[in-house]
Amino acid sequence: MEQLTGHGGEMNPMSGGNGRSLVGLVLMGLLFLLNPLQTDGQTVLSPAQEAFKEGFAYHTGEDGTQDLKRALLFYHKVLKVDPDLFPALYNAALIYTDQKENAHAQRMFIKAARAARKSGDMAAQYEALARNGLGACLQRDGKMPEAEKQFGIAIRMNPALVEAHYNLINILAKEKREAEVEKAIRVAEKLAPSSRYEVLKGRQKAQESGGGTKAVGGTVGIVTILGAILIYALYLRMRRSS
């Protein structure tokens, strides 16, 4: 499989990171954010925009019909026109993940991570999402050291990405690295506060008391319908400011 190497040094991600405050806005006005061309008062979408709109509709089921296979076909159609369009790469990776096609998902997350580097001020946020997704796929394949590395990179790129912290802590807990778990939880609560860590704390206490515990698999994080909406909203915001 094609390998993706890490960046050296500290990243300087944008503040915020999870973008959840954007979701309500996007749900109400996504179609108005497509940034179409206007010709003689008529709205005109480019071929790539039209294909993405179709894929997005099937992905989210916004018209009442969710069809991930058709969504994937449209995303790949977009990528034939623009191979480096991050939203199409990332959303395709999400679908492959949902379908448990890990090899395809990993390849798409790698491509998404590389494409993210061309995203200006949003580059760190985008690549962190892709790295976290790649790490989750690697974890599901049992490649724990590789997964841990990807989660660590995602955290350095975007310290506010809750999912990456959660996934890293989960790996450490599964390997019974108690001291590292405690440290990772402290860091996560400082940089990316979330109630989700309470589950991991409870699991850690159970381990320390001698009770059996079972770690969950890695989560891509924003792999739901809102995830697809969110990543496109972030992309559009970046395009509008460029």
Query: Tell me, what CATH number does 185's domain have?
Result: 1.25.40.10
- DSSP summary character for residue 37: E
Q: What is the pLDDT of residues 59-118, one digit of tens each?
A: 888 778 889 999 999 999 999 999 998 888 999 999 999 899 999 999 999 999 999 999
Does 12 reside within a domain? no
Tell whether 8 is covered by a domain: no
- The rounded distance, in Å, linking the Cα atoms of 72 and 61 is 13
Domain count within the chain: 1
Phi and psi, residue 32, nearest 5°: -75, -15
Residue 230 banded pLDDT, cuts 50, 70, 90 = low
Query: 29 lies in a domain?
Result: no
Is 11 among the domain residues? no
142 occurs within a structural domain: yes
CA nearest neighbour of 59 among 178, 223, 234: 223
Judged against a pLDDT cut of 70, whether residue 138 lies above it is answered with yes
Q: Report helix, strand or coil for 107.
A: helix
The conformational region for residue 211 under phi > 0 = left, psi -120 to 50 = alpha, else beta, is beta
Give domain status of residue 98, yes or no. yes
Parent domain of 119: 46-241
Amino acid making up residue 36: P
Cα 229 to chain centroid distance, Å, stands at: 11
